[in-house]
Structure 1
Amino acid sequence: MKTRELELYLHIPFCKRKCNYCDFCSFPAGDDDISIYIRKLQQEILYWGRRLQSPSVSTVFIGGGTPSLIPAVQIESLMNTVRDSFSCAETMECTIEANPGTVTREKLSIYQSCGINRISFGLQSARKEELNMLGRIHTFEDFVSGFYEARDCGFQNINVDLMNAIPMQTMETMEQTLLKTAELEPEHFSVYSLIIEAGTPFYEKKGLDDLLPTEDEDAAMYERTEAILHTLGYERYELSNYARPGYECRHNCGYWTGKPYLGFGLAASSYFGKKRFANPADMEEYLSLSDFSGIFEKENELSKKEEMEEYMFLGLRMTKGISKMEFSKRFGTGILDVYRKPIQELSGKGLLKQDAERIWIPQQALFLSNQVMMEFLL
């Protein structure tokens, strides 16, 4: 089986401690369990490389969990397996997520030497009280130290994750975090609003609602974040992502524009061969897999209706919006032939704009993007 260029995601589910807001597939584990998992992950990578006859890979993203928690030599071995299994472009973007409390100069040097050229630090806040509330294991000082060490090791593409609408956060403390972090001049920011998910400690915490900013305050923080970062030379190119010119996350842009990708590891999701499928979220079940394509083979291809819905839902996340020409080329029909009514109605409300080439959500309506996107479910 041959395929065109694709992206790879490698999931490292291990972390030192679960954060109070986290509903991702992540948990603490011992050294032996981590080693067993890494070997299984390598088997999965090798399998798909052989099956697809070493297709070209444009981006790799190592996420978690906390990938920077495990020994760097294991990350290096995974990168070697990727290169042995796939044809990696010279310009390949390779990102690793890192918790500031788990990085060392030795780890960063190994990441750099094995081809990782982008690092994403999960800072979330610069304030001790907010970090403690979130259950983070690091301090702002840990982050600053790790950031400078990453620079010293040669990383010229650094993202910082921040969080708005944290319990007890105010507009003033949000701005303090943003400005203190911006002083380090990272190339990219991802700034998300806290969402309380079922099954997390925050979901069960009594009285938490009284500590959370209101929806209006959250919206004001969202607008203020964009205003500050724009002034500092960062442009919002997606709902929650801001970059200096040329430093947009290519891997995530691939997700939003419908590029095929394979997810390796526990609970990892894939979009390949017009199918969406995911690995088991149970460790024992994942480790027992002998046929890595079994889940893929069982899934049905997305219908044209489902593909169009996903194309609109994901594409409208990006501030440049959706190309009318690309929609026509992909689906063999004009976008107005399918979505004329919602486009006209949303445009009339100021929630959507269009010209001869594109359709997009205007900046002032981005906070209401979910409301807009729901109108494109056929």
Structure 2
Amino acid sequence: MHARTTNDRTAAPVTPLHTWKPRALYIHIPFCTNKCFYCDFNSYVAEGQPIDAYLDALEREMERTAAALPTERIDTVFVGGGTPTVLNPAQMARFLASVRRHFPLAPDVEYTMEANPGTTDPAKLTAMREGGVNRISFGAQTFDNGLLKMIGRIHEADDVVRSIESAKAAGFANLSIDLMFGLPNQKLSHLRDSVSRALELDLPHYSLYSLKVEENTLFHRLYERGELPLPEEEEEISMYRHLIERLTEAGYRHYEISNFARPGYESRHNTTYWRNEPYYGLGAGAHGYALGVRHMNIKGVQPYIDAARERLPRLESHEVSPQEAMEDFMMVGLRLLGGVLAADFAAQFGDGTRLEERFGDALRRLTGQGLLERLPQPEGYRLTPQGVMLGNEVFAAFLDP
């Protein structure tokens, strides 16, 4: 049994990372009502797709995965997409039952499902509750209807409010929404209004992301043609500062670069990624990490279905070297505003493995630049306020050139 980092993050090191069994499970549902203009996720418009055949294939992958790499328990489940809530109530119930059949869920499991506003009717919410889901993350993005249309969303701002009301009425208390900033034609005044409306919902968790123009998206094609009116960098920085100020003033803890929560409502599943711990990844295009190996599944829906009939539907996998794993530990771990701890580093990479011995030059340089600060007890490092604003620069410093 390996050591798990506890809430106070003082767990003693026991066995190195490459022996840890996953206790987190990610499952990908690649279907959407439509494709947003900025989205490069592995997702497909649901109409005409073989959804039931996909769920059959997904259960076959669950069965093979649980047999090949059994675990004592699953502490967190995250169902992402796509939009998992495009499943109808019967499909939802069937899918969630298959998860319970193949994985030993802990009594206090955090069970998250992503949802788009307007896709969670009472029957579907009931199926989700009965199937074990206890946390919903809604993709609100903005409360400005004009901006919603511009980025290819088909819901309106009022749909967010109604969806949250319905979820609360169905018994869901652990709710989150995503907001985006740096959108085309978005002004700071738009963001101020969206943040005010988001805070009126009185939710325990908010995720706040800047737009990234990714290849193979409509936005990328527009950007290449000079037809994507993005805010200037200074205005985008002002938006991010405004988000931090408003959420902090409202009593939320800024616990990760893009995430804010009331105490006890931090995303346990995503913290698995940020602490570089292993996790199962199931479904078309899903990524997983276990026993020192990262894998990615076949992306296409039908190719995934076909492959899952015969084997685990892997597209590729590779062993993670100790150096790569240590770099990953620093780059994702420093996203957490609590920072990285020397004891956690030793727990993942073996007793006697010292943080400063591996990354001393980078740590000294970044500390000297005012981007990191040293934590005395327990020993570690975290971003300074300036480092939060220049996170990518900090993270890149830990890559072996």
Distance 2:132 2:256 in 1: 26
Contact 1:164 1:193 in 2 (8 A): yes
Residue type of the alignment partner of 1:18: K
Distance 1:96 1:116 in 2: 7
Contact 2:184 2:230 in 1 (8 A): yes
1:199 partnered with 2:216? yes
1:172-321 matches, within 5 Å, as: 172-205=189-222, 206-209=225-228, 211-289=229-307, 290-293=309-312, 295=314, 299-321=317-339
Contact 1:167 1:208 in 2 (8 A): no
Contact 1:159 1:190 in 2 (8 A): yes
- Identify, as 1 or 2, the structure richer in helix: 1
Contact 1:49 1:55 in 2 (8 A): no
Contact 2:22 2:71 in 1 (8 A): no
**1:241-272 alpha-carbon deviations (Å, 9 max, x no partner):** 11011000000001111221111110000001
Residue type of the alignment partner of 1:245: P
Q: Partner of 1:35: helix, strand, or coil?
A: helix
Q: Partner of 2:186: helix, strand, or coil?
A: coil
- CA displacement at 1:124 relative to structure 2: 0.3
**RMSD of aligned residue pairs (Cα, Å):** 1.7
- CA displacement at 1:51 relative to structure 2: 2.6
Instruction: Give me the TM-score of the superposition, normalised by structure 2.
Output: 0.90
- CA displacement at 1:328 relative to structure 2: 2.4
Q: Which residue of 2 aligns with 1:334?
A: 354
Q: Partner of 1:145: helix, strand, or coil?
A: helix
1:354 partnered with 2:354? no
More contact order relative to length (CA 8 Å, sep ≥ 6): 2
- CA displacement at 1:281 relative to structure 2: 1.1
Distance 2:286 2:70 in 1: 21
Number of residue-to-residue matches in the alignment: 375
Question: Paired residue for 2:43, among 9, 26, 41?
Answer: 26
- CA displacement at 1:73 relative to structure 2: 2.2
Residue type of the alignment partner of 2:37: N
1:30-49 matches, within 5 Å, as: 30=47, 33-49=50-66
Question: Paired residue for 2:136, among 98, 119, 123?
Answer: 119
- CA displacement at 1:352 relative to structure 2: 0.8
Instruction: Give me the TM-score of the superposition, normalised by structure 1.
Output: 0.95
- CA displacement at 1:292 relative to structure 2: 3.8
Distance 2:134 2:142 in 1: 24
Residue type of the alignment partner of 2:383: I
Q: Which residue of 2 aligns with 1:343?
A: 363
Contact 2:186 2:230 in 1 (8 A): yes
**1:315-372 alpha-carbon deviations (Å, 9 max, x no partner):** 0111011001221233242111111111111111111111221201112321211111
**1:124-149 alpha-carbon deviations (Å, 9 max, x no partner):** 00011100001101011111111001
1:53-68 matches, within 5 Å, as: 53=70, 55-68=72-85
Higher alpha-carbon deviation: 178-187 or 287-296: 287-296
Distance 1:54 1:320 in 2: 28
1:139-178 matches, within 5 Å, as: 139-178=156-195
Q: Which residue of 2 aligns with 1:83?
A: 100
Contact 1:127 1:140 in 2 (8 A): yes
Which runs of no fewer than 5 residues in structure 2 stay unpaired?
1-18
Q: Which residue of 1 aligns with 2:343?
A: 325
Contact 2:182 2:230 in 1 (8 A): yes
Contact 2:20 2:290 in 1 (8 A): no
Higher alpha-carbon deviation: 160-169 or 332-341: 332-341
**1:209-258 alpha-carbon deviations (Å, 9 max, x no partner):** 4x211111111111110100001111111110110110000000011112
1:377 partnered with 2:399? yes
Contact 2:374 2:381 in 1 (8 A): yes
- CA displacement at 1:4 relative to structure 2: 3.5
Distance 2:346 2:280 in 1: 26
Change (3 A) 1:180 1:189: same
Residue type of the alignment partner of 1:369: G
Which runs of no fewer than 5 residues in structure 1 stay unpaired?
none
Contact 2:20 2:278 in 1 (8 A): no
Distance 1:8 1:72 in 2: 22
Distance 2:213 2:69 in 1: 39
Q: Partner of 1:263: helix, strand, or coil?
A: strand
